[in-house]
Amino acid sequence: MTAERLVVVSNRLPVVLKRSGSDTWQITPGSGGLVTAMGPVLRNRGGMWIGWPGLASEDCPDEESLGRLLTEGGSRSGYALKYVYLDRDEIDRYYYGFANEILWPLFHDLFPQCNFDPVYWEAYEGVNCKFARCVVEHAGKNDYVWVHDYHLILVARELRRMGLGHRIGFFLHVPFPPLDIFLKLPWRFQILEALLEYDLIGFQTVRDRRNFIGCIRALLGYKVKGRGQIGSIIMNDREVHVGAFPISIDFKEFSDLARSGEVADQAWIVHANLPKMQLILGVDRLDYTKGIPHRLLAFDNALTRYPELRRKVTLIQVVVPSRREVEEYEKLKQEIERLVGEINGKYTEVGWSPIHYIFHTLTRTELVAYYRTCEIALITPLKDGMNLVAKEYCASSIEDNGVLILSEFAGAAAQLYQDALLVNPYDRQGVADAIYKAFSMNEEQRRERMRRLRNQIRRHDIIDWVDSFLRAGIAKGLDDFPLTEFFVPRQ
């Protein structure tokens, strides 16, 4: 079979709908790891992205207006956009419920925060069926369907029930838990059996792949062959390939932007406002898996145990708003702000405050300016599938003078461990020691480490990630989805 187009299916479309008047709407590019990763790959290749537009159907433009907006957005991005409508009840039970009150905490080893409400499962099944119907409606017979992340695990199961014979791949962007944690899930058999309806299942790390295979062996009893990056689960009538494919970024895009005059101007402003300081950067979405309170307490510990850091470092902590409607997230925001206030109140002197706190979304230019300017990146999630911020920071450190402090529980640690300073985010003193080590590191060591980090990410960039997944899934690479000079979205 010759693949004609790449069809990406994810919870959200890669765009944001905003009302700009009483009856006027505009569409802007979205953000997030998947958009950052897949946007450059699909651009001008005539593919398709299927997803939810991010608003309840009751709050969306009418179907004709939305279709027109997405056609315009697709023309600008170089690939077609197709939407799945979800009403408020579906969003509450499927997205905020099953996806983010069950799978998200469970897959991040935080099962005490799970709410195993059976109503959520019914909604999850129903919404996955909606996505599958959209795929059947719009995908061509030779397209390769690539489903993404924990929101849509059941899509292949529904597509098979509808008779779709396409080859279908799945990539899990979050970690996969070990057996003793996965067992807590009441729908563990349904989830595993649904995943086995895909032809290729991709994970971020070998550890995640190993955890999944352990669950398959223990709960379903299937045999597994192959080791290393790719293996196969042997079923009665077919094989399902399982692999580790660490996601990456468009290295050249970040490196080139970091060299631009616009970023240079922004970077100068940052350092001019915080002169004679080593700047430490934390950038995180508001989420309890990111370990922001733990990081702040570790920074407090560093200032207490290493007083020579005072007036010499400033932590710039950027928190991107997320899921503000959820009570747990609002409580987390309040805890972060309390800690920032306490630490600044304890150590602030005339002309210096230890923490510069930002709670809003940055533009790409602003973000890269911080990446380029800050001498130390402090990236300490409690658990993370990959964490692309670590890779973006290195790609943007064009002077080779940055130091990456990275949680050993981030997927990126498996690739970057040799030249990052790895830490246990639960170990306040250990993180504090790493901060002091980074602060004290001489210029030659910084440059050697950062050059190796940048070379590693340059070699294994987003194109390499997509290419390796496609070759494993359909024995074809990204070159088999050629760039088109003039792109018109197909209906």
Residues designated catalytic:
173, 384
As beta bridge partners, residue 386 has: none
Which residues does 161 contact at the CB level (< 8 Å), separation at least 6? none
SS3 label, residue 425: coil
DSSP state letter for 481 = S
353: left (phi over 0), alpha (psi -120 to 50) or beta: beta
User: 238 is written with which tokens?
Assistant: 């077919």
Closest CA to 411 of 381, 386, 380, 379: 386
Ramachandran quadrant class, 207 (left: phi over 0; alpha: psi -120 to 50; beta: rest): alpha
Q: What count of other Cβ atoms lies within 10 Å of the Cβ of residue 142?
A: 11
Q: Tell me if 82 sits within 8 A of 356, measured CB to CB.
A: no
Cα atoms in the 13 Å half-sphere on the side-chain side of 30 = 25
- Are residues 384 and 289 in contact, defined by beta-carbon separation less than 8 angstroms? yes
Burial of 227 (C-beta count, 10 Å sphere; 0-12/13-18/19+): exposed
227 to 179, 242, 315, 475: CA distances (angstroms): 19, 10, 42, 19
Q: Are 220 and 187 in contact (CB under 8 A)?
A: no
Helix segments in 277-427, DSSP class H: 292-305, 327-347, 364-373, 388-396, 413-416
Instruction: Tell me the H-state helices in 259-326.
Output: 261-273, 292-305
Does residue 331 contact residue 339 with C-beta atoms inside 8 Å?
Answer: no
User: Rounded to the nearest 5°, which phi and psi values hold at 69?
Assistant: -60, -45
Neighbours of 357 (CB within 10 A): 19
